[in-house]
Structure 1
Amino acid sequence: MNTASLSNHNVAISDSTPDDTAADPVFRDFVVSDSAANQRIDLFLTSACDGYSRSQIRLAVQEDGAEVDGRTVRPSFRIKAGQSIRFRLPEAFSDEVIPENIPLELLYEDDGFVVVNKPPGMVVHPARGNWQGTLTSALAHRFQSLSDVGGPTRPGIVHRLDRDTSGVIVVAKTNAVHMALAQQWHDREVEKEYFAITVGRLDRDRDVVDAPIGRHPYQRDKMAIRENHPTTKPASTFYEVIERIGRYSLVCVRPKTGRTHQIRVHLAHLGCPILCDRLYAGHAVASESWLRGQGSIDGSPEVLDRQALHARRLTLCHPQSGESMTFEAPLPDDIERTIQVIRERDHR
């Protein structure tokens, strides 16, 4: 179907922009007509939204940018007559990753994949408001060939970490290896272990949090626990307290599922949000004045400027040999320094 056939008698279209700032996302709403039914949603939106390529639309949908009757869908979802679609318009950007000479710490490399220790503050791939300084830009400069399964702006990317989460991330060099690794993630065969510092003492030494996660109803950049809602997905997180220091907990976390912001949402749900998590810790962040250098032992101007969450260990099967392999990234300096300051403050 071409764009011309999406006239107002075929679909109902409206633009809605939140009132806060111009930087907020812009949404378009559609009601699917009989003539538009049975299409893939990415094809439908490509025809309906002028100025965007199909790959841009597909990436936006993959980022949970499209809802059908209130439920988040994938790019391959086929729409039906009468369904309501809400789509978050992507920012216009190039479909090509610009290589940048950014140093990378490699934990492992062979002909099929590499394992990187991602630093905090680095976005994995280009997205709204973050077009430069990404992991994919660094990878494009470092390696001549990466898989293209995820599209032109995600070369090699098998899974993701949040911008301010550091640690182990796996990157595929070939499409065959990418597909084999992705299948392990899909089948939940990959074991992931994170280290976190929480504000608050977790009551139980170890436990499993089973609580469904979906998009926050009002704040589109946040996720939330929403029981019995069509957009939520099951989420399960195991945690074990390593040590309690004053009002803080050092925690080992093993997510069983891989929902967006899962660990951050589940720990906040327990009343112990991750230290310095600006999105989910709320007043707990503002109350930690020592993070900004007030009371720091070494006199540094800032102790921690991002959420205290680190992807410490990852175990998978080598996609070619079948060998079980474990990769580990040591705690970064900012988290080590934070633990030191917490201990010293507790002994005052």
Structure 2
Amino acid sequence: VGLELGLFKNRVSLELDVYRKLTSDMLLNAPVPSTSGFTNVFRNVGSMENKGIEVNLNTINIDNELFGWETNFNISINKNEVVALSGGSDIFLGSTLIRVGEPVSTFFGYIDEGTWNTDEADQAAIYDRLPGDIKYRDLNNDGAINSDDRAIIGKGIPDGFGTFLNTFRYGNLELLVDLQFQYGNSIMYRDEHSAEDRQTIANSFSTVLDAWTPDNQDTDIAQIMPIAAGYDTNNDSGKLKEASFLRGRNLVLSYNFKPELVQRLHLNRLRLYTSVQNFFVVTKFPGYDPESSNGGGAFDQGFSLYDYPRPRTFVLGLNVGL
């Protein structure tokens, strides 16, 4: 369903779309029992539904000979849900889960409750743990931490995303400010597996300076131990980071030369501009870029493992129309 609206001699224009799309026969490289001789096989696994709203708003805020200001705002809000699976059983993709009633790329892992303290030594021993080790929640209270204690801990698909553009004109000068945003999703920050490991045999984050010690027990970072002690590589809620962000996608300042000069040069247009791409990012995500992901596709989004950072690009250019 769509709506288009123009007001005040089209100085305000609105496009609104509400949608619902059912996708059947989802194709997935799904795991199969090892007794088959294969690890994965492509098969149709079920159906999913996407429903939401898309809004695009354009406004001419000021428009006169000396100064102009135009705005464009668009947002897409989407809800994704798996509605049917062949066989009805959950599909486990290592760190993510496909389950009826949940979105695809749902994170499935342990709930990190910090570290065991010295006054919890007896309780930690029940789980074959020591003070300074990571503490996982025993969901079924059976006195053991295993795959039965995993739960849904987040999702890699955002609730919404969009852009906010403003164009300002003063005489022959023009400034474009292009902002981008996204919210409602998380990233499994796998960098912490090695950069916050408890042997410090690799390059480490500065956060290891806050690792557990008998004098520093109020911390989520495990005690530094000899290499033989090993360390936890589980995907857990402690490594799941909020990935909402506001990005300065593009900033462009340009000057359009006066028609008199352009004509004398036998040109149709002459424009000098400079721009900065990716000029700022506001986010709680601790990694290089909240948009980066080296997951395995549509069903396995939202993973970060030493992703290459998005560069900040500076451009100086000249547009010439002949």
* Superposition TM-score, scaled by structure 2 size: 0.21
* Superposition TM-score, scaled by structure 1 size: 0.20
Q: Which structure's relative contact order is higher, taking Cα pairs within 8 Å and 6+ residues apart? A: 2
More strand, by proportion: 2
Point out the structure with max Rg over C-alpha. Answer: 2
